[in-house]
Amino acid sequence: MDKQFEKIDDKTIRFIKTMPVAVDFELDYLVEQRERIIAQKAKDNAQRDLEIAECDELIAQCEILSIVSKKATEAPAPEVTP
């Protein structure tokens, strides 16, 4: 076991203890877990694609309705020179 000590401030010490950890997995579990992760990733990506499409639709409607960006209409901040 590895131990490290670090002074944080005048009243605080940090103690870091590194311990070896062993984790056992059965092959079937790993294969199934991988499949679950891939399926969840596909669902997440599909949801993000829907959200992006909705943003694109709203942006297109803003253009049709002549709605402009606040950033585009604000005057730039004056430069300050020392």
> Residue 69 gets which letter from DSSP?
-
| 3 state SS of 80 | coil
Identify the pLDDT of residue 1: 73
The pTM of the full predicted model, rounded to 2 decimals, is 0.53
**CA–CA distance from 76 to each of 22, 72, 73, 79 (Å)?**
58, 9, 9, 9
To the nearest 10°, report the CA torsion of 38, 41, 42, 48. Answer: -170
pLDDT average, residue stretch 5-11: 88
pLDDT digits (tens, 9 = 90+) for 12-57: 889 999 988 899 999 999 999 999 999 999 999 999 999 999 999 9
Residue 75: phi, psi to the nearest 5? -75, 140
